[in-house]
Every structure is written in C-alpha cells, then in structure tokens.
Structure 1
Amino acid sequence: DSPACNCDPVHDESVLHILIDGPKYGKERLEFEQMTIFMVEEDSLKLLIARKETQDAFLDFCSKVAIKTIN
C-alpha cells in the first residue's frame, strides 16, 4: 500500500492534506470558507476549532470530508 493520496498522488494521504488542500474536497472547503470568511489553513485550524462562531461549521465541514473519504 502506497502512502500517496488517491486524490493527489504527489502528497501522502493525511488528515492535514485532506482538510487543507486535498483537491477532492475543494467544494466542501470553499463552501466552508465562504460561509465563515476563514481560510482552511494549517495556521487557522486551532482558531477554527476554538472559536464558538466557527465550531459548528468546521465540524460540519470535517464530517462531510470524512464521509467522502470513507466512501
């Protein structure tokens, strides 16, 4: 088994890659970013989790990405 991501073989499949720049999840990421006005970036993850204003939307985004990854 290769560690390469099936959506972008240049990168290893990791949670960070999937959330931040996995092309397969671009639609979900863009919808989240437009709704919250926050970019999904490595430096912003702690903020997205900590802020009450973005917690629910970020959890929803992560859930959508997880379901798409599993299926």
Structure 2
Amino acid sequence: MLKFRLFSLSLCLLLPLFSYGKILNPDNPKNYQDFRMDYAEMIEIANPNRLSHRIFYNALSVGPDAKWFDAVK
C-alpha cells in the first residue's frame, strides 16, 4: 500500500512537467503558436464583417444574468 501511495505521489509531482502547451503551429507569430488555426484564419474569423451578429457586441447585456452573459460572449 505504501508503494502505491509513493508511486501515486511521484506521478502527481511529475505530471506537470509534461503538461505544458504544445507548439501546434510553428508558422504562427510567437504568442499564437499554441493555437491550431493559422494566424491568417484567426484574423479572417475575427473580421467584424464576418459573422458580426454572433461575435461582436456593441453594448453590455441587461437583465439578471447580464454579468454571466457578458463574460461568455
């Protein structure tokens, strides 16, 4: 039982060493290399003329859940 606990503890201590973010896209700029999409695709999706009714909001929400909704939109 003691060996199992020591093994579990050592596994828990070693796990963070291997859980860092991978470089998924080395062609992206430095701060965007851990994103799956290409930087050009991200810029295209963030374009205010594309899906503007779903992505961009002009005013804060109102109502009882406004704080939550503003946090997730």
Q: Which TM bucket (shorter chain)? A: under 0.3
Higher relative contact order (CA 8 A, sep 6+): 1
- TM-score normalised to structure 2 length: 0.27
Higher Cα Rg, which structure: 2
TM-score, normalised by the number of residues in structure 1: 0.27
